[in-house]
Amino acid sequence: MTDVSYHEFDKLDAEQRAALLRRSETDLSGVIEKVKPIIEAVRMEGDAALVRFARDLDKADLSAGGLKATEAEFDAAFDQVEDSVVEAIKFGIDNIRRFHEEQKPEAMWLKEMRPGAYAGDRFTPIRSVALYIPRGKGAFPSVTMMTAVPAVVAGVPELAIVTPPAPDGSVDAATLVAARLAGVETVYKCGGAQAVAAVAYGTETVKPALKIVGPGSPWVVAAKRLLAGVIDPGLPAGPSEAVIFADDTVSGGLAALDLLVEAEHGPDSSAWLVTHSRRVAEEALAALPDHWAEMTEQRVAFSKAVLTGPYGGILLTPSVEESYRFVNDYAPEHLEILSTDPFAHLSHITEAAEILMGPHTPVSIANFGLGPNAVLPTSRWARTFGPLSVTDFVKRASIGYVTASAYPEFAAHARTLARYEGFSSHERAVSDVRETYLRGER
């Protein structure tokens, strides 16, 4: 049997425990150096660089005129995708839209802070956003659904998808179906670091955007970091990661089944089963070969690379409290609480971007359309970021309005603090000088 990484937490020293928290994107120094010339080439050469990188990196045959998906390609996609897949996409989009419509903030609110003085917020959509849809290790119409729907709900007027082309220069047909059904008709055939550079700087074909969202490889993550001064990189979403927390009320075979879900994304993913039950840990270990026997060769290779390497495996803790502590330290992208009473554990988990409760809520259901967004912060960023949401596609402006009757009280306090802080113009702006202008005496 393949040697799955198996750790007993109380037998690890501090350095070994810290190593369990690492992800493949933790150290991007080597990738960043490789990404820099790609970014510069796109900035200087535009479409020509995108075509060259499509050929050299994606092994795709593109001409400069083929960088954008045509209306005919969109139309043809509906004939290429099975009806059942189209229906699954529609089902997911409907749920995702319902969820994000509830999340959408009201356009403006004002509260009377004092009699005659009002303050509040106004929300307006970001003018232009690019949606990154990965393809290197598969096709992901679900990511299109998760990024496009909240952006459309938010009312972003200029939306575009960037996604790597296939060798024949095509875009994944289901991605085009999901894009159109969600309300996005602009799709550019470029991926990786070059796609991030393209939407940051713009090219002859690709329109620049103010923000880019969506998960990607370490190359995409590195490009976002390097271009953060040019384009808003959105929440930090890198290679997939999951923690399956299991107590003694569930089958270890079930835990192993769910452990493989995010592990099969690619060898740079992270996936841990965390349990304080030795029975569950041993059952999971024993069940993995049977699960692998039913998976496709590529996904077996990916998940074995994860579960036998430094970024995944099975962790047996000495107590449920230690399991909670590890989960919170890890701050996973996806967390499953596998238990017949998941709510008994929920209050102990504070650091996770997505928490899926009970044996009937696997990551698969959440990824494909339960409603909450499955584009999530990775690499411990769940400690400060939440899931992609409508609010990622809008900007907030504070609104203030003080009436003539409320002005004197506010002005008096403002003068006091302005004088204390040494700002003479601040003080004059609420002094008798203003009064003479308001009375029309100046």
The residues assigned a catalytic role are 333-334
Looking at residue 123, the DSSP 8-state letter turns out to be: E
Looking at residue 438, the DSSP 8-state letter turns out to be: H
Taking the C-alpha atoms of residue 162 and residue 185, their distance in angstroms, rounded to an integer, is: 12
Q: Which of 167, 172, 90, 168 is nearest to 139 (CA)?
A: 172
Chain centre to alpha carbon of residue 347 = 24
CB burial string 45-75: b at 16+ within 10 A, e below = ebbebbbebbeebbebebeeebbbbeeebbe
Taking the C-alpha atoms of residue 282 and residue 248, their distance in angstroms, rounded to an integer, is: 12
Q: Please, how many CA atoms are within 13 Å of residue 240, restricted to the half-sphere of its CB?
A: 23
CB atoms within 10 A of CB 377: 25
Tell the residue number behind the tokens 């029309």, with chain if given: 440
CA distances from 265 to 24, 79, 220, 270, 360 (A): 13, 27, 16, 9, 21
Taking the C-alpha atoms of residue 88 and residue 370, their distance in angstroms, rounded to an integer, is: 11
Specify which residues 314 forms β-bridges with: 6, 273
H-run or E-run covering 297: helix 297-307
Contact 273, 284 (CB under 8 A): yes
Taking the C-alpha atoms of residue 50 and residue 164, their distance in angstroms, rounded to an integer, is: 10
